[in-house]
Structure 1
Amino acid sequence: MSKKLIIVFEGIEGTGKSHHINNVAKYLKKKNKKFIQIREPGGSKNSEKIRKLILNTKSTFNKYTDLLLYLSARSENIELIKKNIEKNIILIDRFSDSTIAYQHYGMGVNLKFIQNINNFLLKDIKADFTFLNTVSKKNMKNRLLKRKNLNRYDKFQTNFYDKVQKGFIKILKKNPKKYMKINSNLNIEQNEIVILNKIDSLI
């Protein structure tokens, strides 16, 4: 019997995390494993509405509004996660670590403030395992240039993404057993194999 885990894919823009979560979803479907796939911001109907607001290139929110909108989107996903926890494998494209990496390490919002609201919303819900995808500045820039449509979070300064990625790595180092660092500068097919092998061992 497979384990019904919450598996998260994290990383800054251009790391290929969305590609890998979609590839894992195809793999689980092929193996007839029960799962749901959501993203943050997004997932539930209301959370997707908030996503459009956050990522709209015309939006000019300050860092606190940004944080509260992300947490509002998460709040709208709680019931969806609760309905599926321990029944289905839950794949999430970005989760609570993203809030800390982007809003604390990237934007300088107080860490305790973020953690208090996160803990209030999530209670005992937490990721069982996280794939942290990392990328070099050069490759990130090149990949973003190839995108046809850029959202607001694709257009920040390079040093912002650098701070966020370093933040992710600090989070990983605090609990390395629950993380796998994926070097997205390497061949994507090579990384697909590494990730799917780990998925097999997890479930």
Structure 2
Amino acid sequence: MSKKPIIVFEGIEGSGKSHHIKIVSRYFDKNKVKYLRIREPGGSLNSEKIRKLILNKNSNFNVKTDLLLYLAARSENINLIKKYYKKRVILIDRFIDSTIAYQHYGMGVDIKIINIINKYLLKNIKVNFTFLNVVNKKNLFLRLKMRKSLNRYDQFNSSFYNKVQNGFLKLSKLNKKKYKIIDSNLDIKKNEKLIINQVKKLIK
């Protein structure tokens, strides 16, 4: 395991991944750990521009365009990731698995196409560890209701989110040693402690 790993936070809407990546960032700030934190879509300047286009409530792209826009956003982040790869800890809010879970398992896009383009973009860049945050239907929609504004991906039905979350779980089973499943229906403070303890092990 690299001492400067890429650590990814995955999960459907309302699963707590963005909260937990903030907690890890605060821990790093407090302990003077050098790191890069980005999100997908987003991160670099151009990727953030693509994010606004993808998530706009008025956007109505077909599934292939959606996929290509997400991958375009990733392409804009690659140079930023390469710059700090194995030099700093890299925290990513959504990455490769989100593309597969949403676009393949959720929307039915051919996984071969996704894998080919990801391989082309990432080359030798590899994720070291993934926290997969899972949430039940009740808490998912309760948390979405609490948001001040909803983007396009916050407005799917429960069947879609179920397919996506099951997709994430299938991916986690392919490499169990590099995944930790976080049940976000449980006490948030216990989950924060669990994640920080795992992160300590990854970077020590």
TM-score range, shorter chain: over 0.9
CA distance in 2, matches of 1:136, 1:172: 17
What's the counterpart of residue 140 of structure 1? 140
CA distance in 2, matches of 1:124, 1:99: 18
Matched, 1:61 2:61: yes
Please list, as runs of the form range in 1=range in 2, the aligned pairs for 1:82-121 lying within 5 A after superposition: 82-121=82-121
Letter in 1 for 2:10: E
**1:57 offset after TM fit, Å?**
0.1
**1:18 offset after TM fit, Å?**
0.2
Please list, as runs of the form range in 1=range in 2, the aligned pairs for 1:23-172 lying within 5 A after superposition: 23-172=23-172
CA distance in 1, matches of 2:140, 2:181: 16
**1:3 offset after TM fit, Å?**
1.0
Q: TM-score, normalised by structure 1?
A: 0.99
CA distance in 1, matches of 2:40, 2:127: 14
Letter in 2 for 1:161: Y
Match of 2:13, SS? Answer: coil
**1:126 offset after TM fit, Å?**
1.7
Q: Percent identity?
A: 65
**1:182 offset after TM fit, Å?**
0.1
Q: Which runs of 4+ in 1 moved over 3 A?
A: none
CA distance in 2, matches of 1:126, 1:158: 31
**1:157 offset after TM fit, Å?**
1.0
**1:95 offset after TM fit, Å?**
0.3
What's the counterpart of residue 201 of structure 1? 201
Q: TM-score, normalised by structure 2?
A: 0.98
Aligned residues: 202
CA distance in 1, matches of 2:118, 2:36: 22
Match of 1:181, SS? Answer: strand
CA distance in 2, matches of 1:153, 1:135: 16
Gaps of 5+ in 2: none
